[in-house]
Amino acid sequence: MRRSFWIAATMGVALALSSCSSPEVGSPTTVERDPGSTSTQSSDPSPTTSPTSVKPCELLTDSEASSIGADGAGQPKKTKGSTGCRWRVEKALAADSYNVDVTYYEARSLDDVVSSQTKKPMKLGSHDAIEVLGDNKSGCIVAIAVSDTTRVDVVVAGGEQTRLCAPAVDVAKLIEPRLP
């Protein structure tokens, strides 16, 4: 019994010591940070300058999110080829509640919007856009061209589909001035 205790103790110490070592070679370096910088969201974000700088969660300010009835900050989401942000709008009746998704597509143009429904061309500020109902009653989409090969979609989904285009257009109008 005593021998098995010492074997287990020795193995435990060896395991602990080996997990603290690192095979990387080199000298440690420090990263300088500007102590005056913060990461809080500005109440009036400025427009982004290039399509790659589009950050969906920063396109809608907290006060704008509140003005559309959204609770709290947007929830970031990332998939291959896109980044997005989701806000939830709760109404008195659950059937009237909906999600607002703002998604930036790195390699998809307005021509790439998928829907068998009629696409309604529109102009939002200086950007070309389309409004279209999603297939299978999946909500309303307002797709905004950022460049010839990139776009931002505002998708409002949940509740009665025919009532979802008005809030989708409202959100699109709020975020459009911040797009490159």
Number of domains into which the chain is organized:
1
The answer to the question of residue 129 being in a domain is: yes
One-letter amino acid of 21: S
Which residue range is the domain that position 167 belongs to? 51-178
The answer to the question of residue 35 being in a domain is: no
The answer to the question of residue 44 being in a domain is: no
Confidence of residue 50 (pLDDT cuts 50, 70, 90): low
Q: Where are the beta strands (DSSP E) in 75-160?
A: 75-79, 82-89, 98-105, 120-124, 127-133, 140-145, 151-157
The answer to the question of residue 14 being in a domain is: no
Each residue's pLDDT tens digit, 51-71: 567 999 999 999 999 999 998
The answer to the question of residue 33 being in a domain is: no
The answer to the question of residue 20 being in a domain is: no
Q: Residue-wise over 125-146: b if at least 16 C-beta within 10 A, else e?
A: eebebbbbbbeeeebbbbbbbb
Task: For residue 113, give the CATH number of its domain.
Answer: 3.40.1000
The answer to the question of residue 13 being in a domain is: no
Each residue's pLDDT tens digit, 102-161: 999 999 999 999 999 999 999 999 999 999 999 988 899 999 999 999 999 999 999 888
Each residue's pLDDT tens digit, 5-36: 444 444 443 333 333 333 334 444 333 333 33
The model's pTM: 0.71
